[in-house]
């Protein structure tokens, strides 16, 4: 059952984050943005296949000049949409995106301006707070997304204060190991789990924590559903298998995605889902979030309370905000 599409609308970025491979601008500077016509064709088909959620991702997704049209089209197909942005371009797109993004996340890496800008290697700290105020003035309900590293995990209480003072939810995103990044230490994991416990406006997926404590994905009994529940599409209009972060193969979408799903090649990837050598110990959040969508294993069960808390708090905050602005 396909639940999620990670649609890479661009590989380009306007920041140089220490923990992200998209900081290698030389590698991605000449890559194309996803075309609007390909996007509409693919999303129309994905909707028929039952995909309920689409993450418009990158790179920096707002570098695709059609991002607002993409979000609007996905919503017209009854999909829930999400965008995570460094906020540099959000003021430019704010009005065009208003009402079209279900989950709008602004990335903030530190409560300190100097540290945040050093990690991103660009001056974007103030843009996050400007964007929060603009979004709220338009009736939007953004979140602050904190990608936690071993350098920054002790800043969590101050990050929580920043979000709480603005009546926002803080999403705690433990950095994962890929492309040479070592991931998060157990000491840091202990700290963030203890702090997040019992705090209604701090979201930390308990399934992620449990998976990491158990050493990540077990290839003999895989938890990952990256092939069967997630559809990953590149700006080149290609299906990426088995996932973006450990790409083995790309298949050009010539006719339809459904036709690719019928091929022997795709069935082989489905059979090997979570069982490749590189799947051993994997903790990439992008694929375990949908993998834990149903209570079919210990991690999915562990994640339920976190997801329920986030959904409930999001609903409460939206209702309060709407009353305040008279919507």
Three-state DSSP state, 83: strand
User: What's the distance, Cα to Cα, between the start and end of the chain in Å?
Assistant: 36
Split at pLDDT 50, 70, 90, the class of 323 is low
pTM of the full structure:
0.93
Please count the other Cβ atoms lying within 10 Å of the Cβ belonging to residue 191: 17
Cβ atoms of residues 68 and 105 within 8 Å: no
**Can you give the pLDDT at residue 6?**
97
Residue 292 exposed, middle or buried by CB count within 10 Å (0-12, 13-18, 19+): buried
Q: Of 134, 136, 128, 142, whose CA–CA distance to 88 is shortest?
A: 128
Q: What is the per-residue pLDDT across 99-129, written as a single tens digit (0 to 9) for each?
A: 999 999 999 999 999 999 998 888 999 999 9
Split at pLDDT 50, 70, 90, the class of 248 is confident
Q: What is the per-residue pLDDT across 136-147, written as a single tens digit (0 to 9) for each?
A: 999 999 999 999
Q: Of 14, 25, 12, whose CA–CA distance to 59 is shortest?
A: 12
Report in angstroms the alpha-carbon separations of 53 from 84, 107, 186, 321: 14, 20, 31, 24
Split at pLDDT 50, 70, 90, the class of 178 is low
Whether the link from the prior residue into 198 is cis, omega within 30° of 0, is no
Q: What is the per-residue pLDDT across 43-65, written as a single tens digit (0 to 9) for each?
A: 999 999 999 999 999 989 999 99
| Domains of the chain, each with CATH number or no CATH | 4-325 (3.20.20.70)
Cβ neighbours of residue 138 closer than 8 Å, sequence gap 6 or more? 94, 95, 98
Please count the other Cβ atoms lying within 10 Å of the Cβ belonging to residue 48: 12
Cβ atoms of residues 3 and 53 within 8 Å: yes
**Can you give the pLDDT at residue 117?**
92
């Amino acid at each position: 059952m396909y639940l999620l599409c990670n649609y890479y609308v661009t590989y380009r970025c306007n920041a140089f984050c220490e923990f992200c491979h998209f900081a290698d601008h030389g590698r991605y500077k000449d890559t194309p943005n996803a075309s609007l016509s390909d996007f509409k064709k693919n999303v129309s088909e994905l909707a028929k296949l039952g995909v309920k959620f689409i993450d418009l991702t990158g790179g920096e997704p707002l570098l695709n000049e059609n991002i607002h049209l993409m979000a609007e089209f996905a919503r017209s197909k009854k999909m829930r949409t999400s965008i995570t942005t460094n906020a540099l371009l959000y003021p430019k797109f704010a009005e065009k995106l208003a009402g079209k993004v279900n989950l709008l996340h602004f990335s903030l890496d530190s409560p300190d301006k100097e540290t945040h800008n050093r990690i991103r290697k660009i001056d974007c700290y103030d843009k996050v707070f400007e964007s929060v105020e603009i979004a709220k003035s338009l009736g939007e309900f953004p979140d602050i997304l904190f990608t936690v590293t071993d350098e920054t995990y002790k800043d969590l209480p101050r990050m929580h204060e920043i979000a709480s003072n603005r009546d926002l939810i803080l999403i705690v995103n433990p950095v994962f190991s890929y492309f040479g990044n070592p991931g998060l230490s157990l000491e840091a994991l202990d700290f963030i789990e203890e702090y997040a416990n019992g705090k209604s406006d701090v979201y930390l997926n308990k399934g992620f924590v449990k998976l990491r404590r158990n050493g990540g994905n077990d290839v003999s009994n895989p938890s990952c559903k990256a092939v069967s529940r997630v559809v990953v599409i590149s700006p080149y209009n290609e299906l990426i298998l088995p996932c973006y972060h450990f790409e083995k193969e790309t298949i050009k979408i010539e006719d339809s995605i459904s036709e690719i799903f019928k091929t022997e090649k795709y069935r082989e990837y489905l059979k090997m889902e979570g069982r490749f050598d590189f799947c051993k110990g994997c903790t990439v959040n992008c694929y375990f979030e949908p993998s834990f969508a149903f209570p079919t294993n210990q991690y999915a069960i562990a994640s339920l309370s976190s997801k329920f808390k986030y959904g409930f708090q999001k609903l409460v905050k939206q209702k309060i905000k709407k009353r305040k602005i008279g919507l």
